[in-house]
Amino acid sequence: MHTKGDTMTISSLKQVYFKIPKIIRLLCAVLVLLTIFGACIHYIEPNQFKTIFDGVWWAFVTGATVGYGDFVPLSTTGRLLGIAIILSGGGLLAYYVSTLSATAIDRQTNKTHGHISFRGTGHIVFIGWNERTRQLIDMITVKNPPFKIVLIDQTLMERPKNYPHIHFIQGNPTMDTTLEKAHISAARRVLVTANTSESESHADNMTILTTLAVRGNHRDVPIVVEILTDNHIENATRAGANTIIRPNDFLSTLLYHELIHTPKTTPFENILQLLNHQHFEQISLSDPEQYSDFREAAKAYLNQDRILFGVIRDNQWIIHPKHSFAFKQHDILLLLTHWPKPNQPIY
């Protein structure tokens, strides 16, 4: 007679059993069934199958319909057992193989459609798919191929074509469940781009909400955001953005230079080539007496293949100061230097 405790134990075991992935349950069933058949043939024909392992080997070979012929049952009972293996174990083994194939296909399909969670660490998370994101991913792929990239977007239904190396997450980036799928807590950096298909104000609001969600899941990760309107810059800072990119300000200034520049100059191409081959660096000057003036510092950095072009003092940018410019405590030097070589890490 079963007691209440026995019933609860059986129910708990059932719950644990059905939580195990189907493919694992099938594999266990195949192993148990064919092992039983192998042990039975050993006891039926001990002279022909000298060990249980010989019987198990024969059971698996027979169930898989391979039939090497190294072990063959001689008795009628043994042959009937072989027929039972072919009818039961063989069918179960075939079902296991087909399920394994279907599982692999389903996983690849789910990964393509952004339903599989990312389990890596030290990755870069891009939020929002657009032409800027595509170009940036292309640049990182060429210059820093070891970087792992995770893309979050709710408008795409599947991973962008020709980008099999990125991990795609389909979903709303303001939701914790979506960010958890991207393993945001272990990310190296996060970039939130503006949705230019929406109005600028609405796009900025979504960017700020996304930034809040990211900061709530990872308090220390550097977040770079794209803000389209000036009146949302302060809100983005409050939300936790470390760097705010203002494309409208940059493009307006660049267009002004293109319209007003002196003849035979190409401001846009100059800046584009500069950013392709050089990157900016900021160094806090701990000892203002290290250099007597700007000229000496510029010469010292030039010997290191770095170009000193300005200073930040009390949040004021001083570009190309006079040669006699004297440094003060906590000045920040603005430098241009070559990009690291491919595969060289950037911190």
pLDDT band for position 13 (cuts 50, 70, 90): low
Residue 207 has pLDDT above 90, yes or no: yes
Q: What percent of the chain has pLDDT over 90?
A: 41
- Contact between residue 231 and residue 205 where contact means Cβ atoms under 8 Å apart: no
Does 13 or 212 have the greater pLDDT score? 212
Question: 219-249, pLDDT tens digit by residue?
Answer: 999 999 999 998 899 999 999 999 999 988 8
Query: Is the confidence at residue 214, as pLDDT, over 70?
Result: yes
Res 3 pLDDT > 70 = no
Average pLDDT over residues 66-75: 82
Strand partners, 225: 192, 244
Take residue 245 and report the two structure tokens written for it: 């990119």
What is the rounded average pLDDT of the residues 34-45?
90
Mean pLDDT, residues 158-181 taken together: 93
pLDDT at 4 over 60: no
Give the pTM: 0.64
CA-to-CA dists, residue 235 to 218, 230, 295, angstroms: 18, 10, 40
pLDDT band at 127 (very low <50, low <70, confident <90, very high): very high
- Tens of pLDDT, residue by residue over 282-293, are 889 888 888 989
**1: its two tokens:** 């007679």
Q: What is the b/e burial string over 132-146, where b = at least 16 CB atoms within 10 angstroms of the residue's CB?
A: bbeebbeebeebbee
Q: What is the mean pLDDT of residues 19-38?
A: 82
Which helix (H) or strand (E) segment is 168 a member of? strand 167-170
pLDDT at 347: 44
